Structure 1
Amino acid sequence: MNMLASNGQLRASLLRWALFTVPLIVLLGFLSGQSGSPESAWFQSLDKPSTFPPPATFGIVWAILYVLIGIALALVCAAWGARARPAALVAFVVHFALNLAWTPTFFGAQQLTWGLIVILLVDVTLVIVIALFWKVRRIAGMLLLPYLAWVLFASVLNWQFLQLNPEADGGLPGGATERVRIG
């Protein structure tokens, strides 16, 4: 017998990792979301792109994506013998830190330009993470594909917000401008 661990031991290891990574990813995503809100007067005053979905969509989609991300991470964490595992985990930490930085940048600091830069870095690092996760466990890479589709869509939205509201970008000289509609 050439196996270091039985199938049951491998499933137990994956389950233990998932019980840690899924709540952790969901919690970190929730905490990042508390640093800024689409309910702010600043965001409410922005012109919205025609592709902007109903606000409730974001909470539902992110909850599902964070669970998928946590499961994908658990699959990689449980793959003890995989050569690409250390690189995949380091790339994931860098990527997820960027992911968590977007909300405070875009909503909290009201920086549309910097938000776009951060989300483009999220896009690039996510492609790297998917490639590395794929090497460790193909299913882990596949679980991140809906996440990639969503952040690419979010990147387009960020760019559209910047195009429609250049005067509201806190990254421009003179600071953010808050518009209020009357009537």
Structure 2
Amino acid sequence: MTPNGIDSRWLGLAIFIIVCLGAGGLGAIATTPEIEGWYKTIEKPSWNPPGWIFGPIWTTLYLMMAVAAWLVWKPEGFKAATTPLTLFAVQLLLNVAWSWIFFGMHQPGWAFVEIVILWSAIVATMAAFFRCSKIAGWLMAPYLAWGSFASVLNFTIWRMNT
């Protein structure tokens, strides 16, 4: 318990949620202004999802990531989960960086290189999470699936616009 009576485990969950949604917000700073600008002008495949779907999907994924990280942290804290939580932080930073490279810098080619690295970091994080908590590992699965789809979409957009 904290001095004000809040169970520190729940405070930890709140912090993970804030961090993950905050990462989404940082990515949105680069993304949002470009949706009606640059992104609207480039070629995209017919199977490109409609714009309205990205907000609900990413919000859900960030919340699932937060819960997964919390489940890894909760039993014994950061010291006991240093490797999986470091991998988690790395993939979260790469997640933000992709938005800035693709949307902010208008560089689909470099964004594809970066998303391959991001995808690898998600796989490594998922594997480390599975060793700590099966539920945490499975909570990362939809993110890996969406990351796989996003990688193919990124590659296709890059090739269509070169």
Aligned 8 A contact 1:83 1:136 in 2: no
Aligned to 1:31: 26
TM-score w.r.t. length of structure 1 = 0.79
Matched, 1:132 2:128: yes
Gaps of 5+ in 1: 1-11, 167-183
Question: Which structure shows the higher helix fraction?
Answer: 2
Distance 1:16 1:48 in 2: 42
Matched, 1:160 2:156: yes
Of the three residues 115, 119, 138, the one matched with 1:119 is 115
Distance 1:25 1:159 in 2: 25
For the pair shown, the structure with the greater C-alpha radius of gyration is 1
Within a 5 Å distance, the mapping from 1:1-183 to structure 2 comes to 12-37=7-32, 38-80=34-76, 85-166=81-162
Structure 1 stretches of 4+ with a deviation exceeding 4 A read 81-84
How far 1:77 moved relative to its partner?
A: 1.2
Distance 1:122 1:84 in 2: 24
Aligned to 1:9: none
Distance 1:79 1:124 in 2: 26
Q: Identity, % of aligned pairs? A: 33
Aligned residues: 155
Rate the CA distance shift 1:13–1:139 in 2: closer, same or farther, 3 A: farther
Gaps of 5+ in 2: 1-6
Q: What are the Cα deviations for residues 108-142 of structure 1, in whole angstroms up to 9, with x where unaligned? A: 00001110011111110100000000101111011
Distance 1:82 1:161 in 2: 39
How far 1:13 moved relative to its partner?
A: 4.5
SS at match of 2:99: helix
